[in-house]
Structure 1
Amino acid sequence: MRKYAYIRISSKDQIVDRQMIKMIEKGVDKDFIFVDKASGKDFDRPNYQFLKKILREGDLVYMDALDRLGRNYDLVIDEWKDITRRIGADIVVLENETLFDSRKFKAMGDHGKLMEDQFLSLLAYVADQERKKIKQRQAEGIAAAKEKGKHLGRPRIDLGTLENTQRKLLEENYLRWKSRQLSGVQFMKMLGLKKNVFYKILREYENNQDIRG
């Protein structure tokens, strides 16, 4: 039997250290801990799919919580059964270790399968409902922000939002850039702007000059 662990975090900003420590305490080698930074809505995750390919009958997979496996009700049940029944490996969910240890269900035969299905359906359903609540709260938050006229995403940068120093540098060096005494790359660095924003602001500046002229 070989011990593995699977860790999933839904955001790149989340830290895996807490889950890592738990897996190492369970005797899992660091080389056999698979981590995905991805949503739990589906199983299109590279490290999860690789783990399934190398799993063999009798192997053991630790997970911190059932929702680390996934948050889609139907898919979680399918994946659990695929690992424990088709491949023949076992899963232990540390958050509910006394209940969710597939080895215990296997030892109970057909009755164990029935109990496993019932408990798995219940917890997977809870995880799925939580995912839906999160999506609903996000949608409500976006709608509320739009009603208040807030811009979502990165702040917009245009001619009117430039700092005084940037505006002064633009005015002082525009003609140098136009006459090719100053390269576009140099001018961008000077203003601290990215390429697409830089040319957008220059177009605005030139349009303003035309209007004044």
Structure 2
Amino acid sequence: MDFGYIRVSSTDQNEDRQLVALRGKGIPDNRLYIDKQSGKNFDRPKYKRMVRRLRQGDLLYVLSIDRLGRNYKEIQEQWRLLTQEKGVDIYVLDMPLLDTRQGKDLMGTFIADLVLQILSFVAQNERENIRKRQAEGIAAAMARGVKFGRPPYPLPENFHEVHKAWRDKKMTLRQAAEACGMPVGTFYAKAVKFENTN
């Protein structure tokens, strides 16, 4: 039987491109498995369910090699588990050289293993480069004065007089926070910041 596996790295990424490619191979929806997981959380329930269902002689389609793992080691481990332990064939759509149905002789196996090692190394290297470029982009933006995160809420109109009353010990911290409609911690943090900038 033919199966397809799709992974997108977060819930806001779209899996349509992978779905179109795998459906184009005639794989029915009940044998398509989709995981939406972040790169940090690699607990893939649909993948695990699919692996339990796979039998010797089945064929697994993936669009690209990095769908099998986050890094070089994981890709290699999953490839070995699927092809050697489970006896499943794998076809990587964007790299037709990685089709374990072809060249089952020693030379074919050697070439497929070599290509797999190179591609899984390239996949991990590209992810590391993306992370590095993101960090560099964030640092450059911060150097230009770009602010990240939620914009600060403006201080309530009565903040200055309440702050003064609190500083003059005419109000407790809790009373001052309530008068400004803020949690105690927020009022205190705003008060400290206000004092440091004035």
Fold agreement, TM-score > 0.5: yes
Which residue among 152, 156, 159 is the counterpart of 2:151? Answer: 156
Tell me the distance in 2 between the aligned counterparts of 1:199 and 1:45: 41
Q: How far apart are 1:70 and its partner, in Å?
A: 2.8
Is there any run of 5+ residues in structure 1 with no aligned partner, and where? 168-197, 209-213
Q: How far apart are 1:31 and its partner, in Å?
A: 1.2
Are 1:143 and 2:102 matched, yes or no? no
Is there any run of 5+ residues in structure 2 with no aligned partner, and where? 158-180, 192-198
Aligned residue for 1:133? 129
Inter-CA distance 54–151: structure 2 relative to 1 (3 Å threshold): same
Aligned residue for 2:161? none
> What amino acid does structure 1 have at the position aligned with 2:128?
K
Aligned residue for 2:24? 25
Percent identity reads: 39
Query: Which structure shows the higher helix fraction?
Result: 1
Is the CA contact 1:73–1:127 (under 8 Å) kept in the aligned structure 2?
A: yes
TM score, norm. by length of structure 1: 0.68
Tell me the distance in 2 between the aligned counterparts of 1:158 and 1:104: 62
- Point out the more displaced range, 119-128 or 35-44: 35-44
Aligned residue for 1:186? none
Aligned residue for 2:165? none
Tell me the distance in 2 between the aligned counterparts of 1:128 and 1:203: 42
Tell me the distance in 2 between the aligned counterparts of 1:104 and 1:41: 34
Is the CA contact 1:7–1:35 (under 8 Å) kept in the aligned structure 2?
A: yes
1:36 counterpart SS class: strand
Aligned residue for 1:35? 34
Tell me the distance in 2 between the aligned counterparts of 1:40 and 1:100: 24
Tell me the distance in 1 between the aligned counterparts of 2:41 and 2:113: 20
Is the CA contact 1:55–1:87 (under 8 Å) kept in the aligned structure 2?
A: yes
Are 1:111 and 2:110 matched, yes or no? no
Aligned residue for 1:57? 56
